């Protein structure tokens, strides 16, 4: 039978047409959405400097270190490095408790005392997470550390903690 001959056939054809149309519209909408979405700035979510290739993410402390890490050396350009730290984007800089001193953002909470007064490590300003598995928590007697001592320094016969806990309590 030709389709017009029975009402059921026409209805089925109409139904199929509507479904096909709906699928097409949905596909178009999905395509548009994907095309309009902002592209991910980097392969993973890290804080750093994004090179012009939109792929290479340079750690903050590699910016303006006189070594080109971007293919075209964008991380060392005059515009960025001419007046440190003011010429740097704010997210790459951490100001110590004494605002005359600053460190790169990736030096905050890296367990090393780069501010000199541990304000990049232990003060509320830095808001660091707890020391974690690899570290022993105590007050350091060494200038280079603050409140986290590498566990490899536990029970090595040298006092690293003010309370000696690295030699008497910490298990390496």
Q: Which residues bind Ca ion (CB under 5 A)?
A: 62, 65, 67, 69, 75, 107, 110, 112, 114, 120
Backbone torsions φ then ψ of 92, nearest 5 degrees: -95, -5
In the complex with Ca ion, which residue's Cβ is closer, 68 or 167?
68
Considering the complex, state which of residue 97 and residue 155 has its C-beta at the smaller distance from Ca ion.
97
Residue 149 beta carbon to Ca ion: minimum distance, rounded to whole angstroms:
14
CA pair distance 56, 50, nearest whole angstrom: 6
Which one-letter DSSP state was computed for residue 161? Answer: B
CA-closest candidate to residue 171, choices 163, 131, 156, 144: 156
Tell the smallest beta-carbon distance from residue 72 to Ca ion (Å). Answer: 12
In whole angstroms, what is the distance from residue 45 CA to residue 111 CA? 21
Quick one: 33 or 79, whose CB is closer to Ca ion?
A: 79
**Could you tell me the smallest distance in angstroms from the CB atom of residue 158 to Ca ion?**
22
């Amino acid at each position: 039978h030709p389709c017009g001959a029975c009402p059921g056939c026409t209805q089925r054809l109409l139904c199929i047409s509507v479904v096909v149309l709906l699928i097409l519209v949905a596909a178009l909408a999905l395509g548009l959405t994907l095309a309009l979405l902002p592209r991910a700035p980097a392969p993973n979510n890290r804080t750093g400097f994004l090179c012009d290739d939109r792929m290479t993410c340079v750690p903050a402390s590699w910016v303006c270190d006189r070594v080109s890490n971007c293919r075209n050396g964008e991380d060392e350009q005059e515009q960025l490095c001419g007046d440190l730290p003011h010429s740097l984007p704010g997210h790459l800089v951490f100001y110590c408790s004494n605002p005359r001193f600053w460190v790169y953002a990736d030096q905050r909470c890296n367990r090393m005392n780069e501010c000199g007064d541990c304000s990049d490590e232990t003060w509320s300003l830095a808001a660091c997470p707890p020391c974690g598995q690899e570290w022993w928590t105590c007050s350091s007697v060494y200038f280079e550390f603050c409140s986290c001592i590498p566990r490899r320094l536990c029970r090595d016969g040298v006092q690293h903690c003010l309370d000696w806990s690295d030699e008497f309590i910490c298990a390496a």
